Amino acid sequence: MNNTSIVTQVIIAVAGVLTPAICLYVANLIKKYIPNKSLLQALEQFAKDAVVLAEKAGLTDKLLDKKQYAIDKLQDMLQQAGFSKQDEKLLAGCVERAYCELKKGIESVYKAPEKTNDTKTTTTTPTTQGDVANEEK
């Protein structure tokens, strides 16, 4: 064997060992610096779910801060799906956007019952005593 053949085989062997490590490093850089489309899709869907959950919880607990509740639920959902903890301002923006998109439907479904006055005004026609007396007989 000549020296060129040995050097070529060493380079191929080293490249074969280093290629997976380099690919893994580049993949981590891409994940770190380029927004992940699946995260954005998850944020959009989970934010809508969190808003609906907050509205449901707000019906029973009047002291509940629905926005903060929705943000906390969104953070929990993302972590359960395997995403890292996200910035609260980002989550607040997602929750607000989801609420704006769902506002009409939410207000019609999860509207708190309004207090109405049970005093009904009825119109009666004036009757004379004679008419009432004749009806009673």
| pLDDT (0 to 100) of residue 85 | 84
> Each residue of 4-50: pLDDT tens digit?
788 888 888 877 777 777 777 777 776 666 556 677 788 888 898 88
In terms of pLDDT, which residue wins out, 66 or 107? 66
Q: Residue 88: pLDDT above 60?
A: yes
pLDDT exceeds 60 at position 119: no
Tokens representing 60?
Answer: 């029973």
